[in-house]
Chain A
């Protein structure tokens, strides 16, 4: 058990709007952690900060106990993978080649794919159920298929930390379940995963811990049962919910308050 990624009191202001306000959080090896909150709460921005893609105004992000902005880019990209919410695919490469791009952090400019690289690519394709898509033009995929391919690209990099921005938002029920199980499986041993989710039932069911944010501020953190309390949901989402299920928890919104 070691802290892989943490933010210490990070803030970000853009165009006089406070997007992230003094947030401290951490990700420990073996954990699947969910980041939840309403639209515009700053989830994606916070994920960008944690991935070191955007520099914080104040505070620090530590990856493996080192300032993320001081780690050489290539080394950082071997440790941490980030999956965009609906990332673009600009050229009609095959799905297989897109997934293979995930190995770039491990290769120098001229290096060819080794057996080890190919094994990682094959694993990623199989794990995300992309086998049937592998020779397809990546620009013709549906939203859900593309999300799976981009997740496969990230998995092929074999990172220790995976940051995924709403990976199940565009998926059908079966692939939602499959993806959550995959993330659960990934986040074991030395690895950890932070995932932005809108589906609170999935967050409740699969995540070890949750962070609830609203208007750029951390509202609650801890066990799903504590974070997703009636009071918190009322305060942050402004809705009344029914909860239940025991081992298979579900949260259904009933009406606006």
Chain B
């Protein structure tokens, strides 16, 4: 075998091996999207009911609560960024990081200090490489987050917002995650969790209510509106974080499936063009051999013809 041909053959073998891996990863990711989507759907009733309850308390009572009222001049904000633990998911993590950077920029422009809370090894690595301060980070569960993980993430955030700003607490709580729109579309989005933007929630609720033709009833609170709100808001934060984690997990799998699909397609194309080249090289080798034989034979014939005379 010619040297050229051998090189092509080796490269084809290498690309085929890579293709097998990317194909397997694509199929694993595809099967996990379904599972992740199901988890998002299963968490929906709780989230909807909880949002409803929070809206009811916030609009139905005149209680002033630290977590619902906006601070006059907020000076510190916490940003929770959700990225993935593993790479090979296209632009998934970097899109979320970019969104967080934009949000941080905006908050800084508004004169607020930003504390970074990060989920996922990729985000931690990004901040670590740039030697930025990370307030807290969690890794190891972005593939399939459980409610306990969301609780773990929520605990220091709730503590931070309940602490006075002067003592190292924060005034606002923002979250950056990747919204799962469909198999093909995932958007990195940011949103403010606390203080609750009541105008937004009540307007949304009112639209919904108008559609259903009902008004939020006047609730009786047990034991009291303050206590209910005290108990409700941490759960609300946890549920929001849980939902964000689940959506991010679904998005991560979808992004990975897409990235691996294009990698598999590229590998296929590469194999095709490499085998064309290998075929051409083999053909050239054969042609050369034939012309060598023919040339050799005719040289021999010439030589014998010469010696005969």
Q: Do A and B bind each other?
A: no
Which A residues have a C-beta under 8 Å from some C-beta of B?
none
B interface, CB within 8 angstroms of A: none
